[in-house]
Amino acid sequence: MLLPILHYPDKRLRTKAVPIEKVNDAIRFLIKDMFSTMYNAPGIGLAATQVNHHIRLIVIDTSEDKTQPLCLINPEIIEKDGELEWDEGCLSVPDYYECVTRANHIKVRALNEQGEMFELEAQDILGVCIQHEIDHLDGILFVDHLSKLKQRRLLEKTKKSQK
């Protein structure tokens, strides 16, 4: 089932997500729906916050052929280093792209769909995507990393297009 994606400046995007206590069938159904929604959009990452579920869950697939789905439940970055600039976009901020500085290399710890703990090292687009989606879980949008002037212009543009 496709889920509606919240769009900036919807205040629900600022909600801090809570940890998932137990990985059960309801969570697995949500994961399936989130992947369907992300692929349909189309996008490479989606946080539960973006579909109005305020739990610590993200889905990602940065592969060209959409064959490498990755699910991170209760993700936390445990190491990061370096610096990388990447042109980012967001399903919650359609048709808007800006260069954002992130860590170049990260190590993340999370649970998988079976509730098993794992660690993953990532860099380049996968590392950027994980950091971007974890930001969503903390109520942060990629536009928050931009200058106040760019934020104000985007907000004005968004409000005009919503009228």
Average model confidence (pLDDT) across the chain:
96
3 inside domain: no
Q: Which of 13, 5, 11, 97 is nearest to 42 (CA)?
A: 5
Residue 155 confidence (pLDDT)? 86
Residue 159 confidence (pLDDT)? 78
Q: Is 139 left (phi over 0), alpha (psi -120 to 50) or beta?
A: left
Domain hosting residue 101, numbered range:
11-162
152 inside domain: yes
Higher pLDDT, 150 or 48: 48
100 inside domain: yes
The model's pLDDT over 83-130, given as tens digits with 9 standing for 90+, comes to 999 999 999 999 999 999 999 999 999 999 999 999 999 999 999 999
Instruction: Enumerate the active-site residues.
Output: 133
Report percent pLDDT > 90 for the chain: 88
Structural domains in the chain (count):
1
Beta strands in 61-116 (DSSP E): 70-81, 84-90, 93-102, 105-111
CATH, residue 39? 3.90.45.10
The three-class DSSP label of residue 37 is helix
Mean pLDDT score, 133-137: 98
Residue 65 confidence (pLDDT)? 95
Stretch (H or E) spanning 134: helix 124-137
Burial 5-21 (b: 16+ CB within 10 A, else e): bbbbbeeebebebeebe
pLDDT at 160 over 80: no
Higher pLDDT, 131 or 162: 131
Contact 46, 4 (CB under 8 A): no
Q: Which of 45, 48, 39, 43 is nearest to 6 (CA)?
A: 48
Q: Give the angle 109-61-34 at the CA atoms, nearest 5°.
A: 90
